[in-house]
Structure 1
Amino acid sequence: MDFPVTRSFVCSYGPGKLLKRSEKPSTELERLNLLITPLIRNGQSVHQIYLTHANEMTCSEKTLYNYIDASLFDVRNIDLPRKVKYRPRYKKPEFKIDRGCRIGRNYEDFKKYREGHPDTQIVEMDSVLGNKGGKVLLTVHFVNTSLMLAFLRDANTSQSVIDSLDAIYRLLGRECFENLFPVILTDNGSEFSNPRLMEYGPSGKDILRTRIFYCDPSSPYQKGSIEVNHELIRRVLPKGTSFDNLTQPDIFKMMNHINSYKRNKLNGRSPYEMFRFCYGEGILQKLGCLPIASENIVLKPRLLKHST
């Protein structure tokens, strides 16, 4: 199926994967990735690389292993000379880029911010998982209109979330992005543990583009709107379905059907219609959104049967 009006987004986002990193490193993680990945692929150990390039390292050797465990580099544990031979003795805790990410951003802080800014529109953000270790979705839900966007990611990493937000920012421009994303509420998943780069962009020190807040642990009801909308995704992609053969145009197609589905809470209107009324159709087209006639809406796995 052709998506002519989504071409601007697909060109910047890339079919089925995120934007490729620039050859010139723009973050410290990218610089480390460019340094160690070729050497590991040549059969060198992390220890050997660390000893040889100690003066170029800004973290410990253990942190490098943590980055590889968290899939933040282009190499994986299976690429390491010895580590793959050993069975883990215990289940490792979730790896968080910034363990202090919730300071000043917890749910109490969110409520206080809303008290001072009652008219601020809220965006909820989450992940929908396919098979373990495979592709995942980043979901973005505009609470005031019930419109939800979804972006396919190759792995459930912090960097892939940052790349997704950066792609949307470049596509919409600063003014439009800040208008649509003043506040993002998300959960405590490790993929959301680098708020600085989500809030400020690739350099982490530019002008604030959004504010990140976190729900309390084990409290998905605090972002209940997006959780309810996930049920519609699961009608098309039931739990246990692999996302590995899906592409971003497939995800656009699914979300177009979901966003055209009329809701009682919107007085019989669809999220697409509500968003168009509030923000205009031009933004919808940039984001890859198209209306689907009511009689043509399909919320069954057969909608993407060729890809799953």
Structure 2
Amino acid sequence: MAKSISFEVLEEFFDLVCVGVPLMRAADWSGVSADTASRLWRERGVMGLQIALGARGGLLGSAPPRHPGDERTVRRRRPLTSEDRAVIAALLHRRVSLREIGRILGRDVSVISREVARNRGPDGSYHGPVAHRAAHERRRRPKAFKLHDPTLCHSIETWMDDGWSPGLIAAMLRNQQPHTKMARVSHETIYRALYVQTRGSLRKDLAAQLLTKRKARKPRGTEDGRGKSLYREAFTISDRPAEVADRAVPGHWEGDLILGTANGSAVGTLVERSTRFVILLHLPGRHDAESVAEAMIREMGKLPEHLRQSLTWDRGSELANYRDVEAALEMPVYFCDPHSPWQRGTNENTNRLLRFWLEKGTDLSVHTADDLTRIAATLNKRPRPTLDLRTPAQALAELLADPAAA
């Protein structure tokens, strides 16, 4: 059993494997059984090394030892040596704290913490030879460029065609392939492939999907007499209950208009704060107060009552008929302070995402009701980091399936 094997024997076994000795031969030389050797490597080897064994069961090449040298010349950024990692492994085996290990080695505790976290095996163990070989493999140059992989490139292209940002794509790849580094890339790698290095197998026209053509958002609403008279008796955002701010209770919505060319066309946007679920209002002819209220009552009336708790809007005149909305939907409407779009942060962020399809400076009246339904469905199927990479559609479906949870 692995429990009866001494720490020294384990270190010898891992040292042999990490300098290139085949797994079974390393087991024989260190006095470990074949079955135990296979299980030890599977449970304690760093993932990147587990899949790198050669045909004979040994790692190709070796990781040369690094010697500390003159401390006066390397003090600024001295890499951990094989001796350092052997000390870390021995002290961890004796249950010495990371802070004390750092003090013994003369390194900050954060260096030790990152080293241990980076080079642990699947079972949480740390062995000096394995850690040193894994660190050597990460430093090895040149590295294979990941965006030559057609499967990976196809996934990125498909997601970007649906309006996903490189940041979201990188997060999704990390979630799908937590243990396979070659199957995921950072958002910076995607940006550089599109703009800086112009290499890899991504489509040459893919950079156009990043162009939102959006300038700085102009503040809307004023503090003139008209604005004050429209909302003199309305609820303000300071009147909202605390449950709205902490997103603990679903059914609280934020809304606004996305405007087209010369403000001559518009699309209404509604987003639920806890699930980020989006509803788009089709306003084909006008976007005055009567049209907006009518479209809102029609679309939000399809929701169950427990998902119609409140609506927060800015002070634009398009919601002057807010009393009709409150009466028809039995839902209070709250208004932001003047010039304070950040008070509807969820809606502002959603509008930014929607500009992928509803581009600034274009005629939005060309989009039919079916077009808007399709756009909303696409965005609602997009994973969100704020939802632990669940989609808004999934989050809303859970609430609809269990009204008591709301």
For this structure pair, what is the TM-score category when the shorter chain's length is used for normalisation? 0.5 to 0.7
2:309 partner letter: P
Q: Determine the structure 2 residue equivalent to 1:132.
A: 262
Q: Determine the structure 2 residue equivalent to 1:148.
A: 278
The higher-RCO structure (CA 8 Å, 6+ apart) is 1
Deviation at 1:95, TM superposition (A): 9.8
**TM value normalised by structure 2:** 0.40
Deviation at 1:102, TM superposition (A): 4.2
Q: Determine the structure 2 residue equivalent to 1:263.
A: 384
Q: Determine the structure 2 residue equivalent to 1:189.
A: 316
Q: Does 1:212 align with 2:343?
A: no
Match of 2:297 among 162, 166, 181: 166
Q: Name segments (4+ residues, structure 1) moved above 6 Å.
A: 92-95
Deviation at 1:131, TM superposition (A): 1.5
Change (3 A) 1:134 1:149: same
Cα deviation, 1:128-150, whole Å, max 9, x if unaligned, reads 11122533111111011011111
Query: What aligned pairs does 1:226-237 form with structure 2 within 5 A after superposition?
Result: 226-237=347-358
Contact map agreement 1:260 1:271 (CA 8 A) in 2: yes
Change (3 A) 1:156 1:104: closer
2:347 partner letter: I
Contact map agreement 1:133 1:155 (CA 8 A) in 2: no
Separation of aligned partners in 1, 2:279 and 2:225? 26
Q: Determine the structure 2 residue equivalent to 1:101.
A: 231
Q: Does 1:279 align with 2:406?
A: no
Deviation at 1:170, TM superposition (A): 5.0
Deviation at 1:255, TM superposition (A): 1.2
Separation of aligned partners in 1, 2:243 and 2:323? 18
Contact map agreement 1:120 1:183 (CA 8 A) in 2: no
Separation of aligned partners in 1, 2:223 and 2:312? 23
Q: Determine the structure 2 residue equivalent to 1:4.
A: none
Deviation at 1:108, TM superposition (A): 1.6
Cα deviation, 1:94-133, whole Å, max 9, x if unaligned, reads 9969924243511222257859x97464210111111225
Deviation at 1:237, TM superposition (A): 2.0
3-state DSSP of counterpart to 2:366: coil
Contact map agreement 1:98 1:194 (CA 8 A) in 2: no
Larger gyration radius, structure 1 or structure 2: 2
Match of 2:325 among 169, 178, 198: 198
2:269 partner letter: T
Contact map agreement 1:150 1:251 (CA 8 A) in 2: yes
Cα deviation, 1:205-238, whole Å, max 9, x if unaligned, reads xxx6100000111111111001101111111222
Contact map agreement 1:135 1:152 (CA 8 A) in 2: no
Cα deviation, 1:149-195, whole Å, max 9, x if unaligned, reads 111202221101111123135545xxx2x321211011000001222
Deviation at 1:244, TM superposition (A): 2.1
**TM value normalised by structure 1:** 0.52
3-state DSSP of counterpart to 1:162: helix
Question: Which 5+ residue runs of structure 2 have no aligned equivalent?
Answer: 1-221
Change (3 A) 1:234 1:120: closer
Cα deviation, 1:18-73, whole Å, max 9, x if unaligned, reads xxxxxxxxxxxxxxxxxxxxxxxxxxxxxxxxxxxxxxxxxxxxxxxxxxxxxxxx
Which has the larger share of helix? 2
Aligned-pair RMSD on alpha carbons? 3.0
3-state DSSP of counterpart to 1:231: helix
Change (3 A) 1:149 1:246: same
3-state DSSP of counterpart to 2:257: strand
1:257 partner letter: T
Contact map agreement 1:97 1:193 (CA 8 A) in 2: no
Identity %: 24
Question: Which 5+ residue runs of structure 1 have no aligned equivalent?
Answer: 1-91, 202-207, 282-308
Change (3 A) 1:219 1:97: closer
